[in-house]
């Protein structure tokens, strides 16, 4: 293993269950992440992303193959030795997982307490981190008094507290609206740039990859079907059937030229919505006439996997301004409005 490889997967497979009901969540995956990188893993729901990331801190063990982290084979490690490696790996979750009984400071201080830092050092480090995430004035509040984005910033401060080498982010922005998502992603990027921390971020959103990752692995049904530098993948997606995720995600988002062309033929406001549950969105679209607006689907499509439907759909919504606003608001509560094209 090259010393630059902070994380290395060799032919890793993880199967759940047995016999006919066996599910291969991760299927012969080999990959490496270098020190200082932001490595993104993207794929549909059920692709195996969470199972993969959980093998990095030993929360999950491979059925076969090996996972080496910070020079140690974590997949072969006894349970009693895991805490030491885990203390060098921070983790951020979709649902934040904050302690509700503790204050913001108490949450950030927690891993330091576990690691045996003195009270004085803890206090100093917590202040520094809250400053870094822009929440110094919230130190004494409780998580339920914070917005989603603020909660996630506390989650990030906590994950960074003990100065880990690696930060794992599992859908860290999926519960947030697009503006807040941007804020959290910029914070992760800054943590990488200012502290040199290596980040592995998993997501099903192309925008997240585009915003923070240096390299990306595309996962589909347990397999890594493509890896490369984010720039190369965005500028030159492969024409293979395997790279379907990248291709469809790119194709489903209208380019500037698409938007211009659409505008020449249809009126109204152009909105791109990401669909995770096609039912919810079609219900809203069905309510267009009740809102006194009309709509036309002008771009996009749906993809389905075993567990879910995904896609980006662009609609042109026409009607009185206020009615269009109300309709778009309802649309964003059912799906996620990715962009209202200006
Ligand atoms: N503990 C488990 N027991 C049984 N099956 C599991 C377990 N964990 C995951 N799986 C299965 O493994 C597959 C991959 O799941 P995983 O959660 O890793 O996917 P994911 O890419 O993170 O999906 P999502 O985007 O929905 O979070 C799925 O088919 C899932 O049902
Ligand atoms: Mg997951």
pLDDT at residue 39, as a whole number: 97
Centre of ligand 2 to C-alpha 75, Å, is 20
With 80 as the cut, is the pLDDT of residue 97 above it? Answer: yes
- Maximum Cα–Cα distance across the chain: 67
| Site residues for ligand 1, CB cut-off 6 Å | 16-17, 23, 25, 43, 45-51, 204
Tell me which of 12, 16, 222 to substitute to probe ligand 1's pocket, judged by most ligand atoms within 8 Å of the beta carbon.
16
Residue 309 pLDDT class (50, 70, 90 cuts): low
The DSSP result for 177-216, as a single string, is -HHHHHHHHHHHHHHHHHH--EEEEEES-HHHHHHH-SEE
pLDDT over 90 percentage in the chain: 56
Residue 238 pLDDT class (50, 70, 90 cuts): low
Domains of the chain: 5-249 (3.40.50.300), 256-339 (3.30.70.260)
- CB of 58 closer than 8 Å to CB of 86: yes
What is the C-alpha to C-alpha distance for residues 256 and 103, in angstroms, rounded to an integer? 45
With 90 as the cut, is the pLDDT of residue 338 above it? Answer: no
Average pLDDT in the 33-40 region?
Answer: 96
Tokens of 234: 């965005």
| 3-class SS of residue 75 | helix
Please, which residues have CB within 8 angstroms of residue 236's CB and are 6 or more apart in sequence?
none
Check residue 292 and report its DSSP letter: T
- Ligand number nearest CA of 46 is 1
Centre of ligand 1 to C-alpha 64, Å, is 17
With 60 as the cut, is the pLDDT of residue 306 above it? Answer: no
Residue 273 pLDDT class (50, 70, 90 cuts): confident
pLDDT at residue 54, as a whole number: 96
Pairing of strands 72-73, 38-43: unpaired
Q: Residue 73 — φ and ψ, nearest 5°?
A: -80, 95
Tokens of 32: 């490496």
Centre of ligand 1 to C-alpha 80, Å, is 26
pLDDT at residue 80, as a whole number: 94
More confident residue, 138 or 207: 138
Average pLDDT in the 66-92 region?
Answer: 95
| 3-class SS of residue 325 | helix
In what side-by-side order are the strands of the sheet with 294-304?
294-304, 309-318, 269-275, 336-341
Average pLDDT in the 105-116 region?
Answer: 95
Predicted TM-score (pTM) of the model is: 0.74
Average pLDDT in the 61-73 region?
Answer: 97
With 50 as the cut, is the pLDDT of residue 141 above it? Answer: yes
């Amino acid at each position: 293993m090259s010393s630059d490889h902070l994380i290395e997967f060799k032919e890793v497979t993880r199967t759940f269950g047995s016999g006919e009901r066996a599910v291969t969540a991760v299927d012969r995956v080999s990959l490496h992440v270098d020190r200082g990188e932001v490595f993104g893993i993207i794929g549909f729901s059920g692709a195996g992303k969470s199972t993969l990331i959980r093998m990095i801190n030993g929360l999950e063990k491979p059925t076969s193959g090996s996972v080496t982290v910070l020079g140690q084979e974590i997949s072969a490690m006894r349970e009693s030795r895991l805490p030491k490696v885990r203390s060098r790996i921070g983790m951020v979750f979709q649902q934040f997982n904050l302690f509700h009984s503790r204050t913001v400071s108490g949450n950030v201080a927690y891993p330091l307490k576990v690691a045996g830092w003195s009270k004085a050092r803890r206090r100093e480090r917590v202040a520094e981190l809250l400053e870094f995430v822009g929440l110094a004035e919230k130190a004494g509040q409780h998580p339920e008094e914070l917005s989603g984005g603020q909660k996630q910033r506390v989650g990030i401060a906590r994950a960074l507290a003990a100065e880990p080498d690696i930060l794992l982010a599992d859908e860290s922005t999926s519960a947030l609206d697009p503006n807040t998502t941007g804020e959290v992603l910029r914070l992760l990027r800054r943590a990488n740039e200012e502290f040199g921390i290596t980040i592995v971020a998993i997501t099903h959103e192309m925008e997240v990859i585009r915003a923070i990752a240096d390299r990306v692995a595309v996962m589909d049904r347990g397999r890594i079907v493509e890896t490369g530098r984010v720039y190369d993948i965005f500028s030159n997606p492969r024409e293979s059937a395997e790279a379907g995720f990248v291709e469809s995600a790119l194709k489903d988002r209208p380019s500037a030229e698409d938007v211009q062309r659409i505008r020449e033929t249809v009126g109204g406001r152009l909105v791109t919505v990401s669909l995770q549950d096609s039912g919810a969105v079609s219900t809203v679209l069905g309510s267009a006439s009740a809102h006194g607006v009309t709509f036309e689907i002008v771009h996009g499509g749906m993809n389905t996997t075993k567990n879910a439907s995904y896609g980006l759909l662009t609609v042109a919504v026409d009607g009185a301004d206020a009615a269009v606003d109300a309709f778009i608001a309802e649309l964003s509560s059912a799906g996620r409005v990715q962009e209202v094209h200006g």
